[in-house]
Structure 1
Amino acid sequence: MTPAQLMHQRRTAAASGWGSGVAVFFGSARRALIAIGALLLVWWAVTDGTGLISNVRFPSPSETWVAWQQILLEGYSSARWHEHVIRSVTLVTVGFVVASSLGVALGLAMGSSRTIEALVNPAFLFLRPIPPLAWIPLAIVWLGLGDSAKVMVIFVAAFVPSVINSFSGVRQIDKPLLEASAMLDVKGWRYWKEVLIPGALPSIFTGLRLSLQASWTTLVAAELVGAVAGLGQILNQGAQDIYTAMILVGMISVALCGWLMTLALGWIEGRVMPWRAQ
């Protein structure tokens, strides 16, 4: 194969990966929008439509829309909606990226080296059962009530799934592939680039999805204490004001942000592994 043919093949593969990633992104978005539309219809039917559920117990779509307009235009709990969203998304992104980067690297290292596993795994197994929320008091003592404490708690929550799944991904690589790489004397960075990382990628992305979910769950809990702004603060203030419509706005906002970030992660997965695109 000539260099020109090789370059053409690489460009074609890259274009195919891009197209597959876009298809996965919009396919997932379309299915989610259909599900959301059906949910909204049921919600309206049991509240405004039939009165089956009292608005005192659960807000109707119209009440929730009024609350959303309030936080969009006037603000609520010292900030407007986009300011709450930006603050929460920033915290999640920082904690998730740092935790997943270190977690994947540690998981790959533990999976590829029995020595590293023997040194690290006992401490990891000891700390793993501690719930991420149990770190909140210690994070406050160490770092105060600022964003650093929240990022620390998110880091703890996202770190564990990325380590476990990366480690499992390496251990699930076919043994003949590892034997072939040893026979061909594939070592060092080349071994990681051509054998370990590609073989563990499906499990790595599974861990990243779990880490992202854990990040959002932990963020909301962390923002219930000492937050100036954020989606968790909306929920906290709404509960104090007994403002159920605003509580629902906060919950929907968390779901929306988490969904969009999950779609983005799915797009990256389709770009990196186009052969897995549905």
Structure 2
Amino acid sequence: MHQRRIAAGSGPGSGVALFLGSASRALSAIGALLFVWWAATDGTGLVSSVRFPSPSETWVAWQQILWEGYGSARWHEHVIRSVALVTLGFAASASLGVALGLAMGSSRTIEALVNPAFLFLRPIPPLAWIPLAIVWLGLGDSAKGMVIFVAAFVPSVINSFSGVRQIDAPLLEASAMLDVRGWRYWREVLIPGALPSIFTGLRLSLQASWTTLVAAELVGAVAGLGQILNQGAQDIYTAMILVGMISVASCGWLMTLALGWVERRAMPWRAH
């Protein structure tokens, strides 16, 4: 009976239902927020548009960047540029970070070799790498990708390492008794046992990627969501700044939903 419930909860229909339920709750929250926003600005005038733009002003700014462009590009060009940078940086850091964390967690020798250097570099804030990245790679996308990689790398390593060390000892003892070794040991014992912690690290890495991207794009970006914020600040264009912030939040939310879908596919037993 338990197996049938797991199988039923892991099908495509269950994933769609979870996605729709999450989207419905998010839309309800957004609707309530929009009403409060309108009431405080256009509705009652309690908040001055100089301090915070009204929905109507923000809509005008959105139309401007959507059709005419702002900050040397139109809205979709800014979004594509930023999403591509985050995706590439996050994918690289997640791949190497998870692999290193699993290796450190499974081998005391690798941990002894790598951990001192990792502990030395870990306290350095990701944004502190921006000047060095510019010196090494210039003002192009490579420098931004490097900073994103550094920001997303640490959570992936730490949580993957912790996931391996938190695997139940009886499971490890049983695998040793059954002589499970090599790739089979990784595929059937280490990776499945560490998956919950790995995905926790990936969510943190994705959040760090977006935070760092916006900061990196504030310096020398030709296009990108950070460029919208930077140009809006220089022009004292609060409505456009809000457009940039909403765009960052929307892109980050959609990528988080996509990561959640991957997580449910990778761990169907935790779908409910």
After TM superposition, the score normalised by the length of structure 2 is 0.96
Q: Distance in 1 between matches of 2:74 and 2:132?
A: 30
User: What per-residue deviation string (whole Å, max 9, x for no partner) do you get for residues 242-276 of structure 1?
Assistant: 00000000000000000000000011111111222
Q: Distance in 1 between matches of 2:20 and 2:37?
A: 25
Cα distance, 1:31 vs structure 2 = 1.4
Corresponding position: 1:106 with 2:100: yes
What's the counterpart of residue 224 of structure 1? 218
Corresponding position: 1:158 with 2:152: yes
Unaligned runs of 5+ in 1: 1-8
Q: Distance in 2 between matches of 1:26 and 1:214?
A: 26
Relative to structure 1, is the Cα distance of residues 17 and 101 closer, same or farther in structure 2, using a 3 angstrom cutoff? farther
Out of 186, 194, 206, the position equivalent to 1:212 is: 206
Cα distance, 1:26 vs structure 2 = 2.1
Corresponding position: 1:266 with 2:254: no
Corresponding position: 1:38 with 2:32: yes
Q: Distance in 1 between matches of 2:213 and 2:88?
A: 12
Cα distance, 1:13 vs structure 2 = 4.7
What's the counterpart of residue 90 of structure 2? 96
Corresponding position: 1:132 with 2:126: yes
Q: Distance in 2 between matches of 1:18 and 1:170?
A: 29
What's the counterpart of residue 171 of structure 1? 165
Query: 2:10·2:271 contact (CA, 8 Å) conserved in 1?
Result: no
Residues 1-278 of structure 1 correspond to what in structure 2 (within 5 A)?
13=7, 16-278=10-272
- Identity rate of aligned residues, in percent? 90
Q: Distance in 2 between matches of 1:79 and 1:262?
A: 26
1:132 counterpart letter in structure 2: P
1:65 counterpart letter in structure 2: W
Unaligned runs of 5+ in 2: none
Query: 2:9·2:268 contact (CA, 8 Å) conserved in 1?
Result: no
Q: What CA RMSD, in Å, does the superposition of the two structures yield over aligned residues? A: 1.4
Would you say how many aligned residue pairs link Structure 1 and Structure 2?
268
Q: Distance in 2 between matches of 1:213 and 1:275?
A: 25
Query: 1:224·1:232 contact (CA, 8 Å) conserved in 2?
Result: yes
Query: 1:74·1:80 contact (CA, 8 Å) conserved in 2?
Result: yes
